[in-house]
Amino acid sequence: MSIRFTIPAALLLAAIQSGAQTRTPDLSGTYDIATLTPLTRPARYGDRLELSPEEAKALEQQEAAVMAATSRASDPDRKAPPVGGDGSQGAAGNVGGYNTVWIDRGSGAFLIDGKYRTSIMTSPKNGQMPALTPEGRKQAAARGRMNRANTGVAWWVKEGVEPGPYDDPELRPLAERCLLGFGSTAGPPMLPVLYNNLKRIVQTKDTVMILNEMVHDVRIIRLNSKHDPPEIRRWMGDSIGHWEGNTLVVDTTNFNDTPGLANATRNLHVVERFTRIDAKTLRYQFTVEDPTVWVSSWSGEMLWPATDQRIYEYACHEGNYSFGGILRGARILEGDLTGKK
């Protein structure tokens, strides 16, 4: 080829590349992923993925009614709650939590392709987590043995369990230690939680950043890159991405021993797909596998609606008085049994 043709060809190629770059979808923005649609499907829906408009409306009304009911005035002459606990379950641990004014978990189910959903999970088709492997069952049982009702008594001393659940700060949950947000809020996969569900995406030619409001966890996704060597492990794994048409595909491996996702291990592997479906909405899809704990992979999808709200700082160590209180409290409960103060 003569130089006469080479230069225009090079200019044409540059123009095509430039055009291709401008056509790369822009995922930038701030998103609020709060939703009443649960991760796993309520059993009553069976294999049904879609929620009817009437059911979705009922769900919204039910939530609004709950919020209204919990916002009503209380008896100003009320007494202290009952001795022995109020029966609250789970993390509320028999003592309750705080008023619903603090909670922001969305006001309705999300619509995908014009249909409401019964669950975020799309696979397995029953919307439930796959069965645990024998190792997964073993690990779950070990956690279960440490997960007791809150009676205000140091049961681990009575039963001679060593180490006890409060014997070392590093035995405490990651969120309690302000290392990661709870409930896989930063993920991956990035799942909705009780509050602070905002995400901010900043995109450059070779990197996509996702800022998670909770604990200001930040994911840095390298585009068209290779994974770190396997000995390099991270709390949120090592994420690399590439474009498939209009979809950003993100592959994450190299987790450390305790990913944010419940039950997962260092062998967790997550593939996420981010697709802009309109000026104000992203479609977020993910597939999770961890052969150590689940017999098969599982998948889900939801929407990330843009929001005009701002992300605020969440400096978790700023006022984490609870952590010291929990450890001090355990020592006092132990002293109640041993007589040592």
**Which of positions 63-122 make contact with another protein (CB under 8 A)?**
63, 66-76, 78-105
Are the C-beta atoms of 218 and 212 separated by less than 8 Å? yes
Residue type, 17: Q
Q: Residue 172 interacts with another protein (CB under 8 A)? A: yes
Minimum CB–partner distance for residue 172 and another protein (Å): 6
Residues in contact with another protein, counted by CB under 8 A, come to a total of 100
Minimum CB–partner distance for residue 279 and another protein (Å): 22
Q: Which residues contact 331 (CB under 8 A, 6 or more apart)?
A: 166
Q: Of 7-15, 16-24, 230-238, 312-320, which segment contacts another protein by CB under 8 A?
A: 312-320
Q: Of 2-10, 38-46, 199-207, 232-240, which segment contacts another protein by CB under 8 A?
A: 38-46
Q: Residue 46 interacts with another protein (CB under 8 A)? A: no
Q: Which of 28, 157, 176, 273 binds another protein (CB under 8 A)?
A: 176
Which one-letter DSSP state was computed for residue 186? S
- Pick 163 or 230: Cβ nearer another protein: 163
Separation in Å, CA 258 to CA 174, 190, 310: 8, 16, 30
- Pick 24 or 71: Cβ nearer another protein: 71
- Pick 54 or 318: Cβ nearer another protein: 318
Q: Residue 315 interacts with another protein (CB under 8 A)? A: yes
Q: Of 7-15, 16-24, 224-232, 324-332, which segment contacts another protein by CB under 8 A?
A: 324-332
Minimum CB–partner distance for residue 104 and another protein (Å): 5
Q: Which of 196, 212, 239, 253 binds another protein (CB under 8 A)?
A: 196
Q: Residue 52 interacts with another protein (CB under 8 A)? A: no
Give every strand in the sheet of 207-212, ordered side by side.
29-32, 198-203, 207-212, 217-223, 238-244, 247-253, 269-278, 281-289, 298-305, 121-123
Q: Residue 36 interacts with another protein (CB under 8 A)? A: yes
Among 177, 216, 183, 215, residue whose Cα is nearest residue 324:
177
Among 34, 28, 317, residue whose Cα is nearest residue 191:
34
**DSSP string covering 24-70, please?**
S----EEEE---SS-SSPPGGGTT--EE-HHHHHHHHHHHHHHHHHH
